[in-house]
């Protein structure tokens, strides 16, 4: 009775239907592998949208969590703990940003970054109160709160959910001229993903990010990078912005910051920006709690100790080279950076979803990103043997069959 169908029915009967999940009921995860209730084993090529870069149930992060569970889990920020300062210090040393502000979900961190940028706009830049603008790009994905969906270009994400938050002019992603036109004296910030993951692994033209950074410097505007998905090693660099030698003023991270154990996100910036936040400006009951901080410290250490950034670069190149050599048959384009790779299928095939179903039967879990793109984003601990197996299955499904 307690088989897959039982649990799928429970979800369908009692839950809100806000996801179109694949019908696989997972009960265990270990490294790059996950297991369903019938005992089938799958390679996880989604990694919870890059939240488990370190692999499922990483033993070191798990131990850090257990150790902290034995001590104290939540104090609220009304009191100090012996973990939060260490978390700040680790973030500063690893990323080079002087300060950080911890939150829980990615969307909350994006909201936080917007608040920080607006305050900077008023206090530092002298923008008239309530006039600050944050320029965003079409095709963006920054989360699901009301303010964040106020500036999505995805119809379904906002259609039934207005009224919206004003102050977010939208420009074409990858078009530097469009940004120049959108800038005015009230522009506080420009917020971008250095590579758009949810939009289908969209890589902007070469030089774009650098040009945006220069525009920001020339016009006294903050550059905010949303690296919730692309950051922490995923693209073969600590931050995807590094590929273009860009250092944003505000960096937003989440997802892999906790290796999948706990929601932890953060906004990173230097003192002239994050130093503007004073007691009472912003807060979160759970943000910065000692359990999350302990987990995040361990998750960051794993990225360094296991050379996950280098491995993402090496494995990513290896996989991209192979995929780009494949006969084109069903494939329109292969693109990506590190282990964030998109295979865009020819549109006449009718969407990537059916391939998610087929690959599931062959032991690979993927989720289509935008309609026609298969996203290959396994945990960054992927080894060559597993990559070879994965590639042989992809070849079989995309070329041979
Ligand atoms: C996942 C994601 C978010 C939102 O994170 P949540 O934790 O789901 O709120 C924001 N930006 C990007 C780029 C993401 O990939």
Ligand 1 centroid to 266 CA: how many Å?
Answer: 12
Q: pLDDT by residue (tens digit) across 264-284? A: 999 999 999 999 999 999 999
Residue 69: per-residue pLDDT: 98
With the most atoms of ligand 1 within 8 angstroms of its CB, the residue from 103, 136, 143 to mutate is 143
Burial label for 350, CB within 10 Å (0-12, 13-18, 19+), is: exposed
Give the pLDDT band of residue 2 (cuts 50, 70, 90).
confident
Whole-number pLDDT of residue 370: 87
| Alpha carbon separation from 290 to 72, 188, 242, 258, 325 (Å, rounded) | 7, 33, 30, 12, 48
pLDDT for 1 equals: 61
Interval 78-94 mean pLDDT? 98
User: What local confidence, expressed as pLDDT, does residue 328 receive?
Assistant: 86
Mean pLDDT of 48-58: 98
Catalytic machinery residues = 141, 226, 255
Q: Determine the Cα–Cα distance for residues 188 and 216; give it in Å rounded to an integer.
A: 9
Residue 289's pLDDT is what? 98
For residue 207, the model assigns a pLDDT of 97
Mean pLDDT of all residues in 213-225: 98
Q: Is the pLDDT of residue 400 over 90?
A: no
- Could you tell me whether strands 133-137 and 187-192 are parallel, antiparallel, or unpaired per DSSP bridges? parallel
Alpha carbon distance 168, 268 (integer Å): 21
pLDDT of residue 112: 98
273-317 confidence digits (pLDDT tens): 999 999 999 999 999 999 999 999 999 999 999 999 999 999 999
User: Separation of 51 CA from ligand 1 center, angstroms?
Assistant: 10
Whether 188 has a pLDDT exceeding 70, the answer reads yes
Domains of the chain are: 59-305 (3.40.640.10)
129 to 133, 147, 186, 197: CA distances (angstroms): 11, 18, 10, 34
How does residue 364 score in pLDDT terms, banded at 50, 70 and 90?
very high
* Ligand 1 atom with least separation from CA of 143: 4
- Neighbour count for residue 305 (Cβ, 10 Å): 10
Atom of ligand 1 nearest to the CA of 107: 9
State the CB neighbour count (10 A cutoff) for residue 340. Answer: 25
Phi, psi dihedral angles at 330 (to 5 degrees): -100, -5
Predicted local distance difference test score (pLDDT) of residue 106: 98
* Whole-number pLDDT of residue 63: 98
Residue 243 belongs to what H/E stretch? none
Instruction: Give 376's contacts (C-beta < 8 A, 6+ positions apart).
Output: 45, 319, 336, 339, 341, 342, 343, 366, 390, 394
**Average pLDDT score over residue span 92-114:** 98
- What are the distances in angstroms from CA 128 to CA 121, 133, 216, 223? 9, 11, 19, 20
229 CA → ligand 1 middle, Å:
7
Of all protein residues, whose CA lies closest to atom 11 belonging to ligand 1?
A: 142
What share of the chain in percent tops pLDDT 70?
A: 100
Q: Ligand 1 centroid to 374 CA: how many Å?
A: 18
Mutational test site, ligand 1, from 19, 49, 107, max ligand atoms within 8 Å of CB: 107
| Rounded-to-integer distance, Cα 36 and Cα 42, Å | 8
Rounded to an integer, the average pLDDT of 222-229 is 98
Mean pLDDT taken over the chain: 97
Give me 78's structure tokens. 């009304």
Ligand 1 binding pocket, CB closer than 6 Å: 49, 105-107, 110, 141-143, 193, 197-198, 226, 228-229, 254
């Amino acid at each position: 009775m307690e088989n897959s169908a039982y649990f799928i029915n429970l979800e369908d009967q009692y839950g809100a239907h806000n996801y179109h999940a694949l019908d696989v009921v997972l009960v265990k995860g270990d490294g790059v592998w996950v297991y369903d209730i019938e005992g089938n084993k799958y390679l996880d090529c989604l990694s919870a949208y890059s939240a488990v870069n370190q692999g499922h149930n990483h033993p070191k992060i798990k131990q850090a969590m257990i150790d902290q569970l034995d001590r104290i889990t939540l104090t609220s920020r009304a009191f100090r703990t012996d973990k939060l300062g260490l978390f700040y210090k680790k973030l500063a040393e690893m990323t080079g940003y002087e300060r950080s502000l911890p939150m829980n979900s990615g969307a909350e961190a994006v909201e936080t970054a917007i608040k920080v940028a607006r305050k900077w706009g008023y206090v530092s830049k002298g923008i008239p109160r309530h006039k600050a603008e944050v320029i965003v790009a079409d095709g963006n994905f920054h989360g699901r709160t009301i303010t964040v969906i106020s500036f999505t270009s995805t119809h379904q994400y906002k259609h039934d959910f207005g009224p919206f938050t004003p102050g977010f002019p939208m420009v074409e992603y990858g078009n530097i001229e469009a940004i120049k036109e959108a800038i005015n004296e009230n522009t506080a910030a420009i917020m971008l993903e250095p590579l758009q993951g949810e939009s289908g692994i969209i890589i902007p033209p070469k030089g774009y990010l650098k040009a945006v950074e220069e525009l920001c410097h020339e016009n006294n505007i903050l550059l905010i990078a949303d690296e919730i998905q692309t950051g922490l090693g995923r693209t073969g660099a600590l931050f995807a912005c590094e590929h273009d030698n860009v250092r944003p003023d505000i960096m937003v991270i989440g997802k892999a910051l906790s290796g999948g154990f706990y929601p932890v996100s953060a906004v990173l910036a230097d003192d002239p920006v994050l130093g503007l936040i004073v007691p009472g400006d912003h807060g979160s009951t759970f943000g910065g709690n000692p359990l999350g901080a302990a987990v995040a410290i361990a998750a960051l250490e794993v990225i360094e100790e296991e050379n996950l950034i280098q491995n993402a670069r090496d494995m990513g190149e290896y996989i991209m080279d192979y995929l780009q050599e494949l006969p084109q048959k069903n494939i329109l384009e292969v693109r990506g950076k590190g282990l964030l790779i998109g295979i865009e299928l020819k549109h006449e095939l009718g969407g990537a979803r059916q391939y998610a179903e087929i690959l599931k039967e062959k032991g690979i879990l993927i989720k289509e990103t935008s309609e026609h793109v298969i996203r290959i984003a396994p945990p960054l601990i992927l080894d060559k043997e597993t990559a070879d197996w994965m590639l042989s299955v992809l070849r079989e499904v995309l070329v041979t069959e």
